[in-house]
């Protein structure tokens, strides 16, 4: 890697006393005017287990570029280990093995690897507002927790604040201990979350990103992730903030040691400097998601102070166990003191009667085309007597989406809404197509098609076989 070459050559230059040796080794060369070409930036690949780049991570990447004057850059590798139920554990192993330079994972995963330094950040119902989360991150508490990742053979770079995790109930809200009795909750499965739900009388089942809620009574998610379940569950416990979602950034030992001390400092200082904007991004993401969920008809239920008190009493055995670790107990005490000092209410989004109408401005209006062939329909068991073959046309305008067959007959007509990289196009009250989308300036691509009933296969062929090329605005 270039950084290793520069480091070795710098040592040669110092030992020999020849400044020209350093310039030559670093890859510099003189142009015709006698000047020197700029050194190419060092690019670090950062694995992201999500398809969309978390705004908190983008803030970090921007800080790295700014503080290094563009000589050090972060390049994201999205959808790392996609569809892997153990993506976070596997990603840590990938970084350790040098398969990717850096990565981020949720702090929650580390206690499954016997690293318990982050437990105080994740203690149930402790950090329950963005104001408190901000104060905690302004302190030295999260930074000191990073030392724990050394045990896994990786180097901690920084930790950023994330969104509050809440409960989405399928048939009822989860506001008091009795709501949890005998229930099955789907979510990220780690040691602390398992003990938390057990203390409340519920069982936790691992739910991979985008997994089905079938057989579950609820799921714990941040608001932006709840949107994908808006047709399956309706009850958000608005102010029952289980824990925040801290994002831990780390690098492989080899790649980190190959960087110069200045570059190492840039990475860590960039993570620290990104905290304030990352917190603002988390709050903004919640606000945006809440508006979308309100328009989708979800119910934001609020627990009373009595309900919250009962939940905390039920969780006392969890806190007693956490307190057996001196460092965790000290951090929980420090966070509790901050919580008493600021006396902020638990974060509680609510629907208003003036929610703005849904918009679809994220996908450019226009006419798009794709071509289906007979080969696209082979072995699909689509049930179509004469599936459309030829050029299909998709028109997107003013929140309406229409797909026409090659003969001009409509295949799909409906209104659509977009939330980040997700689209829902609804033909009727009980029939909607969902998908993830991306647009590269020329072509619109759909993946992860979700369709009710027997039309799943034909709709997937139509929407996702090939990109849709934009032919006119």
pLDDT mean by block of 10 residues, the chain; 473 residues: 38 37 40 55 94 90 96 94 87 97 96 96 97 94 93 96 96 97 94 97 89 94 88 93 97 96 97 96 91 89 96 98 96 96 92 55 85 83 71 90 92 84 79 86 88 74 92 86
Domain range spanning residue 459?
366-472
Residue 460 placed within a domain? yes
Residue 347 placed within a domain? no
- Supply the pLDDT for residue 359: 46
Task: Classify 168 as helix, strand or coil.
Answer: strand
d(CA 71, CA 66): 9
Q: Based on the domain organization, do 82 and 179 belong to the same domain?
A: no
Q: How many domains does the chain have?
A: 4
- CA nearest neighbour of 71 among 40, 45, 25: 40
| Number of C-beta neighbours around residue 356 at 10 A | 9
Q: Based on the domain organization, do 28 and 75 belong to the same domain?
A: no
DSSP 30: B
Q: Based on the domain organization, do 168 and 308 belong to the same domain?
A: yes
Residues in the chain: 473
Q: Based on the domain organization, do 446 and 458 belong to the same domain?
A: yes
| Number of C-beta neighbours around residue 230 at 10 A | 18
- CA nearest neighbour of 84 among 228, 240, 269, 209: 209
CB 24 within 8 A of CB 8: no
- Supply the pLDDT for residue 361: 47
Task: Classify 224 as helix, strand or coil.
Answer: helix
pTM for this model (two decimals) = 0.74
Residue 348 placed within a domain? no
Residue 125 placed within a domain? no
Q: Based on the domain organization, do 181 and 321 belong to the same domain?
A: yes
Residue 463 placed within a domain? yes
CB 108 within 8 A of CB 122: yes
- Supply the pLDDT for residue 159: 97
Residue 451 placed within a domain? yes
For 97-174, where are the alpha helices, taking DSSP H only?
119-122, 130-138, 141-145
Q: Regarding beta strands 390-397 and 400-404, do their DSSP bridges make them parallel or antiparallel, or are they unpaired?
A: antiparallel
Q: Based on the domain organization, do 191 and 292 belong to the same domain?
A: yes
Q: Based on the domain organization, do 49 and 73 belong to the same domain?
A: yes
Q: Based on the domain organization, do 190 and 318 belong to the same domain?
A: yes
Residue 123 placed within a domain? no
For 296-416, where are the alpha helices, taking DSSP H only?
305-314, 316-322, 326-342, 374-377
d(CA 187, CA 99): 28
- Supply the pLDDT for residue 232: 87
Q: Any idea what the CATH number is for the domain that residue 84 is in? A: 3.40.190.170
- Supply the pLDDT for residue 384: 55
Q: Based on the domain organization, do 374 and 459 belong to the same domain?
A: yes
For 214-325, where are the alpha helices, taking DSSP H only?
223-226, 253-258, 261-273, 275-295, 305-314, 316-322
């Amino acid at each position: 890697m270039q950084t290793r070459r520069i480091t070795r050559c710098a040592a040669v230059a110092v030992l020999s006393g020849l400044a020209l040796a350093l310039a030559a080794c670093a890859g510099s060369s003189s142009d015709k005017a006698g000047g020197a070409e700029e050194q190419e930036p060092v690019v670090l690949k950062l694995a992201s287990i999500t398809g969309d780049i978390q705004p908190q991570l983008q803030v970090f990447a921007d800080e790295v570029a700014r503080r290094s004057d563009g000589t050090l850059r972060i390049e994201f590798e999205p959808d790392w280990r996609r569809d892997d139920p153990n993506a976070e554990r596997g990603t840590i192993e990938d970084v350790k093995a040098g398969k990717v330079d850096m990565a981020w994972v949720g702090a929650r995963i580390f206690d499954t690897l016997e690293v318990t330094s982050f437990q105080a950040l994740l203690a149930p119902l402790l950090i329950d507002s963005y104001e408190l989360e901000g104060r905690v991150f302004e302190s030295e508490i999260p930074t000191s927790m990073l030392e724990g990742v050394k045990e896994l053979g990786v180097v901690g770079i920084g930790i950023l604040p994330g969104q509050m995790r809440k409960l989405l109930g399928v048939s009822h809200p989860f506001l008091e201990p009795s709501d949890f009795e005998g229930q099955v909750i789907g979510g990220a499965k780690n040691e602390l979350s398992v003990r938390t739900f057990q203390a409340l009388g519920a069982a936790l089942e691992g739910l991979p990103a985008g997994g089905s809620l079938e057989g579950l009574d609820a799921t714990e998610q941040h608001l932006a992730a709840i949107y994908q379940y808006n047709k399956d569950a309706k009850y958000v416990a608005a102010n029952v903030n289980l824990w925040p979602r801290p994002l831990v950034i780390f690098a492989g030992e080899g790649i980190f040691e190959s960087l110069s001390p200045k570059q190492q400092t840039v990475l860590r200082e960039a993570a620290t400097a990104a905290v304030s904007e990352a917190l603002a991004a988390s709050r903004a993401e919640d606000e945006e998601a809440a508006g979308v969920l309100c328009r989708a008809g979800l119910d934001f239920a609020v627990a009373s102070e009595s309900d919250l008190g009962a939940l905390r009493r039920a969780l006392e055995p969890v806190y007693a166990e956490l307190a057996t670790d001196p460092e965790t107990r000290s951090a929980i005490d420090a966070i509790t003191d901050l919580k008493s000092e600021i006396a902020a209410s638990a974060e509680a989004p609510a629907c208003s009667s003036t929610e703005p109408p849904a918009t679809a401005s994220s996908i450019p209006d226009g006419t798009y085309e794709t071509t289906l062939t007979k080969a696209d329909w082979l072995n699909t068991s689509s049930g179509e007597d004469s599936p459309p073959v030829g050029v299909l046309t998709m028109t997107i305008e003013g929140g309406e989406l229409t797909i026409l067959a090659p003969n001009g007959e409509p295949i799909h007509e409906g209104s659509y809404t977009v939330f980040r990289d997700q689209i829902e196009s609804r033909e009727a009250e009980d029939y909607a197509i969902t998908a993830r989308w991306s647009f590269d300036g020329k072509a619109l691509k759909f993946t992860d098609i979700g369709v009710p009933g027997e039309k799943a296969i034909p709709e997937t062929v139509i929407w996702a076989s090939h990109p849709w090329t934009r032919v006119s605005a």
